Amino acid sequence: MLFYSYPIVYIINLVLSTSQTRSKATIDEVLRFIEQGSGFVIAPFDFLIFRRMLQLPDEWEIHDRIIGATACYYGVTLITKDMVLSDSEEIKTIW
């Protein structure tokens, strides 16, 4: 089974975006989907990831730094079309 790891900041962004737009999925539906063991894992934002975040460029927005630091910490390829992250030499990305 393929697992997808998401930094907790993704869930925070999801809550903000669903409250501001007419999303087809509610946050409760997304959380239930994750809780059912559907191959999604929520990566915590802990002290080790915070320390890695401090090594990324200060001019990045905070959510980009958290997402980038999480990908670096776990040594995973990040699926994103965010140009800040995909242009980085430190973070391996696809899309």
Mean pLDDT for back-to-back runs of 10 residues, the chain (95 residues) = 62 69 70 76 88 96 91 88 91 87
Is 92 within 8 Å of 78 (Cβ atoms)? yes
Q: pTM above 0.75? A: no
Is 91 within 8 Å of 79 (Cβ atoms)? no
Indicate the residue type of 83.
Answer: M
- Which tokens sit at 71? 């990908």
Is 11 within 8 Å of 70 (Cβ atoms)? no
CA distance 79 to 1: 18
User: Where would I find the H helices in 1-95?
Assistant: 8-20, 27-35, 47-53, 62-74, 83-86
- pLDDT at res. 49: 94
- pLDDT at res. 3: 52
